[in-house]
Amino acid sequence: MIERIVVDALQVPLEVSGVGRQAELIGGELRDLPGGMALEVRCPADVRDRLKRAFAEGTRFSCPVPRSRPRIRRLIYQQLVAPARDPATMLLVCLGDQGPLWGRPRMLLVVNDVRRLLKPRRGPWAETLFYRYLVPRAARRAQSLVTISKASRDALRTVTQLEAKVVAHHPQPRPLVLGAGEHFVSVGALRPYKDPETAIRALALLAPANRRPLIFVGPEEGRAEVLRSLAASLGVAELVRITGWIPDDELDVLLRGAIATVNPSTYEGYGLAVGESVAAGLPTVASEIPPHVEIGGDAILRFAPGDASGLAEHLARLVTDPEFRAAYARAARERSASLAGSGSTWRDLITSAAGSEASEPAQ
C-alpha cells in the first residue's frame, strides 16, 4: 500500500525551466490527495522556497543537495543513496527523464526529452552515453511511464517498445493585456536545437522599415557571443538583445509589449514556450515540428524548421497588419481555452499509479 508520494524535483534549477514548470503544475494538481496519503518534494535547497508556493501547505520538503548542479552530485543521490533508503510504501515521481535503476518504491517516470535517444550524439559524449544507458532502462523498470506530447510518446515507443501515457501539460489560460507591439520575444535556453540563428537570419531578411527588436530570454548556455557575432555580420546587432534568465514578472512586462513570440526550435519534447505563449493570448510564430502543431494547431503561424525566409514573411505581416496580429491573438486565446482541461491530468496519473496494485513495469 502506498503511504507517501515523493516528487523527485532534484533536476529543477534556480532559473525557471521546463522541468521547473512541470513541478509547479504537479504541485497545483496535488492539493487534495486521497485520505491518509502524504506528499513530499525532493528538491535542491536553492529552489525550495519557489516550489513551496506551488504545493499545498503541509507538503514536506527535503533538500539532499544545495543546487541542481553539478549534475553528478544529484545523480549519485538519485541512483545510489535514495534507492537504499526509500521504502516500498512510496511512489516515486521522477521528473526530468531520470529514475533509479533499482530500489523498492513504485516508480512513475516522466520522460520529456527523447532527442538524445533518437539523433546522433549531441553535447558531451559521456553525458550522451549515460543518458542512452539510463533512460531506456529506467523506463522499462517504471510501473508507470508518462510523457508530455503524442510526438514524444511515439518516439518513446520506437526506442523502448513501451507505451507511455500522455499528460495534459498545457499551462492554464492567462491572457495578458497586450500593447501596440514593440518587439519580438523568443523564450528558451539558447541551445543549438532551439535554433535562435534562424530567428536572427529572419530578422535580417526583413525590410529595414519592418525590423523590430528581437529579445531572447533564457539561459545563455555559453552561446551569447556566437549569436551576437551572427547578428553583427547580418547588420542587425543593434536589434538583437539577449537577457539571460529573468524573473516571471519581468518576462510578463516583455510579453505585454511583444508583437508576437518566436519559437524556431528544430526539436521539442513538448514546446513549453509555445504553450505559455498561447496561454497568454499572444500571437505565436513557431516551427512546424509535431509538438508545436499539437499545441497550437491552426492558431499559430507556422514555418518549416530552419526556414528563415518563411519566418520573415510571418514577422513582416505581423508588423504591418494590426488586424492580422489581433486575429492571431484571438486564435491563441481560443486555442488555450480548448486545451485547458483536456486529456489526463498529473493528479489522475499520479494517484492512479499510487493506487494501482500492479507491481509489473510498464508495458
- In 144-182, the DSSP E strands lie at 144-147, 165-166
> Per CATH, the architecture of 183-339 is what?
3-Layer(aba) Sandwich (3.40)
* Residues 241-280 as b or e (16 or more Cβ within 10 Å = b): ebeebbeeeebeebbebbbbbbbbbebbbbbbbbbbbbbb
The pLDDT-based confidence of 132 (bands split at 50, 70, 90) is confident
pLDDT tens track for 35-82: 778 999 999 999 999 999 999 999 999 999 999 989 899 999 999 999
pLDDT-based confidence at residue 340 (cuts at 50, 70, 90): confident
Read off the DSSP letter of residue 169: -
Tell me the pairing of strands 144-147 and 240-244.
unpaired
What are 87's three cell numbers?
A: 521504502
Instruction: Give the span between the Cα atoms of 246 and 249, in whole angstroms.
Output: 8
The strand order across the sheet containing 284-287 reads 240-244, 214-217, 183-187, 258-263, 284-287, 301-303
What is the longest distance spanned by two Cα atoms in the chain?
Answer: 66
Residue 357: is its pLDDT beyond 50?
no
**What pLDDT, on a 0 to 100 scale, did the predictor assign at position 363?**
53
Q: pLDDT digits over 240-263, tens only?
A: 999 999 999 999 999 999 999 999
Instruction: Decide if 4-168+343-355 and 183-339 have a common fold.
Output: yes
- What does the pLDDT average to over 197-222? 97
Q: Quote the pLDDT of residue 117.
A: 81
49's grid cell: 522556497
**What integer best gives the mean pLDDT of the chain?**
92
For 134-184, what is each residue's pLDDT tens digit? 999 999 999 999 999 999 999 999 989 999 999 988 888 999 999 989 999
> Looking at residues 86-100, what average pLDDT do you find?
95
CA-nearest of 338, 197, 198, 170 to 270 is 170
- In this prediction, residues 189-214 reach a mean pLDDT of 97
Segment 189-198 shows an average pLDDT of 96
Report residue 83 as a C-alpha cell: 534507492
Q: Please name the residue that has the C-alpha cell 512513475.
A: 108
pLDDT tens for each residue of 312-337: 999 999 999 999 999 999 999 999 99
pTM: 0.88
Which is nearest to 214 in space by CA: 222, 234, 303?
A: 234
What's residue 343's pLDDT? Answer: 76
The proportion of the chain whose per-residue pLDDT surpasses 70, expressed as a percent, equals 96
CATH for the stretch 4-168+343-355: 3.40.50.2000
Whether residue 121 is predicted with pLDDT greater than 80 in this model: the reply is no
The ranges assigned to domains in the chain are 4-168+343-355, 183-339
